[in-house]
Amino acid sequence: MKPLGPSDPRQVGPYRVFGELGRGGMGRVLLAGGRDGRLVALKLVHAQHVEDPGFRERFRREVNASRRVSGAYTAAVVDADAEAELPWLATVFVPGPSLREAVDSGGPLPGPAAMRLAAGLATALGEIHGAELVHRDLKPSNVLLAADGPRVIDFGVARATDGGTSELTHTGWLVGSPGYMSPEQAESKALTPASDVFSLGAVLYLACTGIDPFMGASTPATLYNVVHSEPDLAPLPEPLRDVVEACIAKAPGERPTPAEVLARIGTVPLAARPWPEPVYELIARQDAAVAAAMENTVAVTEQLPVVPPAPGQWPAPSASGQPSAPTQAAPTQAAAQWPPPANPQPTSTATPYPPSVAESPTQPGLRRRRTLASVGGAAAVAAIGVAVALLMDDHSPAASSASPPASSAADSVPSSGTSSEDATTPDSSTPESSSEAMTSSSSSAQPPSSESASSSSVEPPPPPATTSTHSSAPSCPTNQQAFALAKQLNAGSLPSDAGISVLKCDGGWAVARLTSASVGNAKVVYALQDGAWKAVDLGSDVCSGPVSAAPADVRGAVNC
């Protein structure tokens, strides 16, 4: 759990916020408490979803449907506000690690625990489908292991982000997590409850083996495996092998219903503590973190707000009032030279912009950026020889049980935030790592290209001529502006299938996620210079670059 930063909300609706459980493609998940003393996992929707004219109506409709879901194996919706500036949804807070966290920490579940998990998830899907909902994003990080059994979270809400169908809502964007999508979801076809059953089979495979069943070296390779490849079922325990095999049938009509899955499982032995001991250790650890966050809330809420910087000061002072970086002297004409000459003559003692990227005896040379390469031959990129190979944002991939085809780059997508999944902020190479995977039917139905993405170094952008005060800063850049600025930074070219979503804007800084099905994900950093936004960094790992001087909430938006 992350503590609250100076710019984080302390109150959302009637709920007092204690900390951040995590974040994903749809929004941030906050630990909060209601007036009745009950803890909730409160999902605060990202601003880019609100820009969609139909989002609020879809959000309201799906929340109302989600309220009809009740049962022992789901986290009930207790409150929501679709009309708030940033819509939010509160569900019962379930203490416990996600299945992903439990497997990563303690290894695969033993046979009896896996059977209990399968029965609980099948029961939960029956309840969700009974409310005429399709989960659409069932994955290990959306399954919580509470002390007495599993809980499925985030049901129905993902549908509000994609218009209630499997169609792309933005060019090249599809809701779902690649390694746990059904084949029909990967190909942008209509979804039925059978899609969730396929995801159930993939989740059970991970729980029993610790291996993501369809994981490939890249998002296109993973999607290809989902549509065309079969995982090795030999490692699965006998009682669940037939269940998983039936669930991951490629044709929706060949998969069992949740009720039929339960019939195949049969009677599960009763157990007061269904999980192995390491799971209960994680639960105890989380309970302690929650207690500490609640105790520290008063102190956190009394922190001073971030003070706008005085002229000549960069970046803004911290909450304590002290500048977080050396004061920058007024820039000189020579300071505007970029890149510097081969044998630069010192003309000023000013700290180069940004201070975090200045060379030092322990930091020889500026960090080189890896730039985007469009596989399939984007002529503009090939002409200038600039390409970016991008790494995925989430967990390091486990060994795939299916042999993936060659791919152009290692890429993935970010995780969909929920009260469970976001209790741990996943890395970007996990196949479930995004609720917004950039893909198309052609990318999943055909093997990815075997061309390897080239990369070349690009010098950092020029320093600002002056330092702007953030109090007069314009609003955050729009997604369209952010795309144009990133394209300008990347030598005037981006892959034809690239899309950008602005994630956070604060204190003269902004960050965005750039996603491309052909080469993967990247992060883009923007800084306010001379009263205008400029892209100052782009790559799969931007944490050691200019963004290190940004406010904590901006750095956190790109997992820095």
- Closest by CA to 491, choosing from 459, 452, 529, 465, is 459
C-alpha 273/C-alpha 385 separation (Å) is 59
Q: What is the 3-state secondary structure (H, E, C) of 163-188?
A: CCCCCCCCCCEEECCHHHCCHHHHCC
DSSP string, 378-440: -HHHHHHT-------BBSPPPPPSS-PPP-SS----PPPP-TTGGGS---BTSTT--SEEE--
Please give the structure tokens belonging to residue 538. 């782009």
537 is an active site residue: no
Question: Over the range 199-214, which residues count as b (16 or more CB within 10 Å of their CB) and which as e?
Answer: bbbbbbbbbbbbbbbb
Beta bridge partners of 393: 428
Question: What's the token pair of residue 82?
Answer: 């679709």
Q: Exposed/middle/buried for 375, CB within 10 Å: 0-12, 13-18, 19+?
A: buried
In sequence order, the 6+-apart residues with CB closer than 8 A to the CB of 25 are 46, 161, 413, 414, 415, 416, 417, 434, 435, 436
Residue 487 assigned ligand-binding role: no
Catalytic residue among 137, 162, 196, 497, which?
137
Please count the other Cβ atoms lying within 10 Å of the Cβ belonging to residue 438.
Answer: 29
Q: CA 91, CA 477: separation in Å to the nearest integer?
A: 32
Active site amino acids: 137
Annotated binding residues for ATP, as ranges? 43
Instruction: Extract the annotated binding site.
Output: 43
